[in-house]
Amino acid sequence: MTAETTFKVTSWNESPYDEFDGGKLTRATVKKVYTGELQGEGTVEYLMTHRADGTADFVGLERIVGSLGRRAGSVVLRHEGSFVAGTVRSAWIVIPESGTGELHGLSGKIALETGHQEEYSVTLEYELP
């Protein structure tokens, strides 16, 4: 099944925890609001490496609390991606057995490829028992 959703980033708090010639490592706490077939609020913790050429790579864990269709609960997603030439390419995977409430057993993934925007539209490909 698929679910169409849109999200907005409502806050981004990033700070370096290590710096080196040609780059730095940062930690970012990011809050989001989701609307559409997947609704709710998400908080993601990113670990990022930034290079002198403006590119970056990141990993993160995000917990979304809300609903998917008429089913309420929460779920944790693993993010992995890169930022190159103004484009973010990221894969989000639902962590197995992370669903709570009526989202227990949810599995799925999201692929994101975009530049910076006000709102982001994504499609969750999922299975739910």
Question: Out of 3.40.50.720, 2.40.350.10, 2.60.40.10, 3.40.50.2300, which CATH number does the structure's domain 2-127 have?
Answer: 2.40.350.10
The answer to whether 26 touches 12, Cβ cutoff 8 Å, is: no
* pLDDT computed for residue 59 by the predictor: 98
pLDDT digits (tens, 9 = 90+) for 11-62: 999 999 999 999 999 999 999 999 999 999 999 999 999 999 999 999 999 9
pLDDT digits (tens, 9 = 90+) for 94-128: 999 999 999 999 999 999 999 989 999 999 999 99
Q: Could you tell me the pTM of the whole model? A: 0.95
* Both structure tokens of 71: 């089913």
| Beta carbons within 10 angstroms of residue 13's beta carbon | 9
Question: Cβ contacts of residue 109 below 8 Å, gap of 6+?
Answer: 91, 92, 93, 94, 124, 125, 126
Q: Which residues pair with 91 in a beta bridge?
A: 80, 111
Question: Which is it for strands 23-36 and 38-51: parallel, antiparallel or unpaired?
Answer: antiparallel
| Distance (Å, whole) CA 72 – CA 92 | 20
* pLDDT computed for residue 24 by the predictor: 98
* pLDDT computed for residue 97 by the predictor: 97
SS3 content of the chain, % helix, strand, coil (to 5): 0, 75, 20
* pLDDT computed for residue 94 by the predictor: 98
pLDDT band (50, 70, 90) for residue 75? very high
